[in-house]
Amino acid sequence: MNLREEQAAMRARHGSVRKSGTRKTQEKKAPPVKKNTAEFEPSVAVDGDEWLKQYFDYLAGERGYAENTISAYRSDLDQFRETLAKDLLTVSTDDIRKFILF
């Protein structure tokens, strides 16, 4: 393999190279950040059950989650609620930690 072939192979693997053979630094641009226009905001005066209904409706309608995914989320949250025996809107981070460690 001659020098030109080596440089071409190196360019194909790593991008362009300098004539001296050292790798040229390439600036990688971060992908544009998509702003989520479908933010979930529950109604102000709702209890935990109504909030969950709105949340699952949001996941299905706005986010397009599959029914199996929503069913799994529902199952996990039901287990969490049964373990805590209190309204989800009153849950603290300590409650979540205790549940995970349980």
Nearest to 53 by CA among 37, 36, 40: 40
The CB-side HSE value for 11 (13 A sphere, CA atoms) comes to: 10
Question: Do 10 and 17 touch, CB atoms closer than 8 A?
Answer: yes
Tokens for 85? 């025996």
From first to last of the 102 residues of the chain, give the pLDDT tens digit: 677 777 777 777 765 545 555 555 555 566 565 555 455 555 556 677 888 899 999 999 999 999 999 999 999 999 998 988 888 888 899 999 988 887
Please report the DSSP string for 52-80 in residue order.
Answer: HHHHHHHHHHTS---HHHHHHHHHHHHHH
pLDDT of residue 76: 92
State the pTM of this model: 0.51
